[in-house]
Amino acid sequence: MTKIDAINQKILRELSRDGRISNLDLAERVGLSPSACLRRVQELERSGVISGYRAVLNPQAMGVGFVAYIAVGLSLHTKSSQESFERSIALAPEVRECHNITGNVEYLLRVEAADLAAYKRFHTDVLGTLPQVASITSYVVMGSPKDDRA
């Protein structure tokens, strides 16, 4: 397991902000030589601390004007019911995140749609047709003052 010391924390913070930063700029920001910095980044990748790099997309530029978090309760609390629900949700492009959680419901979804009408179609035609679903509670996102997802 790779040790996450203060320098590795700096490297991870900088890469989280800009995954396309050059090794030379990264080394300068974290106070290492370029070769030492590259070795550390490669070790973080090899050990799985860094599992990949991705583009951060602008939802509005892609036509997403509506975001909601949805708490979903299942009618049956069985493994097969959960697996069936998860398979169905994996096929829904509107669902950007699906988390199995503890508490009064089994799942928390983050859903993106073009607008309220598109969300209503998803709510009715996708979630509303799944036999495992017993309850749906929507929380509409009005703003995101902090969002560190990459």
In the chain, which residues fall in CATH 3.30.70.920?
Answer: 60-140
pLDDT-flagged residues of the chain (< 70): 150
pLDDT number for residue 2: 84
**% residues pLDDT > 70 (the chain):** 99
DSSP annotation string for the chain: -----HHHHHHHHHHHH-TT--HHHHHHHHT--HHHHHHHHHHHHHTTSS----PPP-TGGGT--EEEEEEEEES--SHHHHHHHHHHHHT-TTEEEEEE-SSSSSEEEEEEESSHHHHHHHHHHTGGG-TTEEEEEEEE----S-----
Q: Is 3.30.70.920 the CATH classification of the domain at 60-140?
A: yes
Candidate CATH numbers 1.10.357.10, 3.10.450.50, 3.30.470.10, 1.10.10.10; the one for domain 6-46: 1.10.10.10
pLDDT number for residue 150: 59
